[in-house]
Chain A
Amino acid sequence: MTATSPHLANPPLSVPDISVVELRKTLPVAGNDFVLEVKFNLDAGITILYGPSGAGKTTLLDCIAGLTPPDAGRVVIADRTFFDCQRGTNLPVQRRRVGYVFQNLALFPHLSAEQNIAYGLADVEPSERRTKTSAILESFRIAHVHDHKPSEISGGEQQRVALARALVTDPCVLLLDEPLAALDAITKAKIIDDLRAWNQMHRVPILYVTHSREEVFALGERVLVLDHGRIIAQGTPQAVMSAPRQETVAQLAGFENIFTATVIAAHEDRGTMTCRIAGSTVEMETPLVRAAEAGSTLRIGIRAGDILLATIQPRGLSARNLIPGRIVSLEQRDVTVVARVDCGAVTEVHLTLAARDSLELRPGCEVWLIVKTHSCHIMAGGMIE
């Protein structure tokens, strides 16, 4: 209540800047045109933009940066109108003060790291330009390569130079197009830390394109999922990723098993339904979906980590799905064992090394799959027509 009192002696809390992106862009593609049509608000902090390739992510960034003019709509970033179709506003790209890290980084190959970073500071007084450049070289830990050309430094250093070049200009919005895609996990984690630190200090909207699930959770305060030019889901990483309603999101969230299934019977009283997996006789009990009627087709997603394995038929379990099968293959990935089990449909199960050894699992073993009803996620998605 006190915060809204008009009689406060203190200056009022600063009103957050408004950023709205609402646009339509048609790209001519052989066959039928690709249409990007999105509407969202952009808050200060990191917003993850996820989508399969061809979803329109880069086109969206280009529209915000001013490299591609939208056909309609408006782009307002931190109260500054970049583009407004109705009012005929289209701020030239040079005057938008956008920080943009391109997918291939687009470092100038003939300029040194330092010259690359200073490039956007042409209007700044030379002494201040030097101060700013060396400060950011220092804080991104690339001072030792300041006179090297991009081709002479490592991938991680190139990434840092690209990031520093965008950040040094004090952008009012930051667009990052898979900036860390090519890096190993350790380098990635360090750069993410740098980016978070910068974000803490500046609090501008950051739109971050990625394919990586780890990056979504490591960075995101919000996720936008883009598919076929439209936003199909948005929210916090936890909300979007733990209960995905769309297949695109399910893949992002790590549903290794996605089956097409037919509804056999709905059990209104129990809140469940029985579904048969297409191409098999396997029947599963899943949570009830209101719209589903007997005979309708849907998709079921199950995380490989949510499935238990037993070598003898278990009894006295609350889990409703006990499915017999045979191990097809076992593959060790890092500290996880990926088992592929044929139970009519091939299912991926993730185990620990210890579990594999104590159960003496090997290809050909007869096993039981145990799946809780609520581990079966029913989703709408691409495959249902």
Chain B
Amino acid sequence: MDWQAFWLSIRLAVLVAAILFVAGLPIAYWIAYSRWRWKFLVEAVVALPIVLPPTVLGFYVLVALGSRSPLGRWWQSLTGHTLAFTFAGLVIGSIVYSLPFAVQPFAAAFTLVDPKLRAASSVLGASKLRTFVRVVLPLSVPGLVTGVALSFAHTMGEFGVVLMVGGNIPGVTRTVSIDIYDRVQAFDYAAANQTALVLLAISFVSLCLVYGMNRKMWTVWPWKERP
């Protein structure tokens, strides 16, 4: 088994899940509470990666990272090389690719928080930020766990975007799913099967974590029976 590819995938998935947790909160907050009439446009853009073929997404990310785009040029002037076919480029591509898997559970959890609780917090003098940190976030923990776990699992298994943006450089951009594809191409079904099984197990365990934890959340809180 290619442990290097595994390690790379896990590093990528953890990093992407962490960044999406931080970046996803304000986006989800805006989507949950904004009353802007064109909000649906932003919602559609955020959800695009769910339906878009990964190759299409990967293609545009590749173009955006290339030396002809402003972002690519800026990165090149900063570091001396392009973003494409690097780990950093992979991270950016994966963030875009997994964005809806973090933002949608976050936003759904925020909208479920009783508006009267936010009103009560404001009346008691709390700023919007304090209301968010003290009331909305603690009551959204199940949604936060779901979002982080889904973006982790989703990034673990991505293929198309990685192939388009990162290529297949061992130790830099070769992730588990690329590794499996390589093995199959080489008719090494046994090795492919081994790796695939491990990936299956990881996905299953992280989803079990999500659902198991959410269920626990809901059974002990907030409708906990009196002792």
Contact = CB atoms under 8 A, between A and B. Distances in A.
Q: Which of B122, B126, B222 lies at the interface centre, i.e. has the most chain A CB atoms within 10 A of its CB?
A: B122
A120 B125 contact: yes
A100 B125 contact: no
A158 to B, nearest CB: 12
Interface in B32-75: none
A94 B122 CA distance: 5
B126 A109 contact: no
A100 B139 contact: no
B121 interface: yes
B138 interface: yes
Contacts of A120: 124-126
Nearest to B135: A108
A106 B221 contact: no
Interface string A80-113: 0000000000000111111110101011111000
B84 to A, nearest CB: 45
Interface in A168-190: 169
Given A67-B122, A94-B126, A169-B125, A102 B116 contact: yes
A96 to B, nearest CB: 8
Interface string B127-167: 10010001100110000000000000000000000000000
B216 interface: no
Contacts of B224: 149, 151-152
A165 to B, nearest CB: 7
Contacts of B139: 109-110
Interface residues of B, number: 23
B223 A151 contact: yes
B119 A122 contact: no
B226 A152 contact: yes
A382 B222 CA distance: 43
B222 A109 contact: yes
A33 B135 CA distance: 33
Contacts of B125: 94-95, 97, 120, 122-123, 169
Nearest to A171: B123
B120 A106 contact: yes
Contacts of A217: none
B11 to A, nearest CB: 34
A119 interface: yes
A137 interface: no
Contacts of A152: 224, 226-227
B119 A119 contact: no
B156 to A, nearest CB: 31
B124 A119 contact: yes
A165 B125 CA distance: 12
A123 B130 CA distance: 12
Contact of B221 (A107, A110, A165): A110
A231 to B, nearest CB: 24
| Nearest 7 pairs of A and B residues by beta carbon | A120-B124, A109-B222, A106-B120, A106-B116, A93-B122, A100-B123, A110-B138
22 contacts: A67-B123, A93-B123, A97-B125, A100-B119, A100-B120, A100-B123, A106-B117, A106-B119, A106-B120, A108-B121, A109-B222, A110-B221, A119-B121, A119-B134, A120-B124, A120-B126, A122-B130, A123-B125, A149-B222, A149-B224, A151-B221, A169-B125
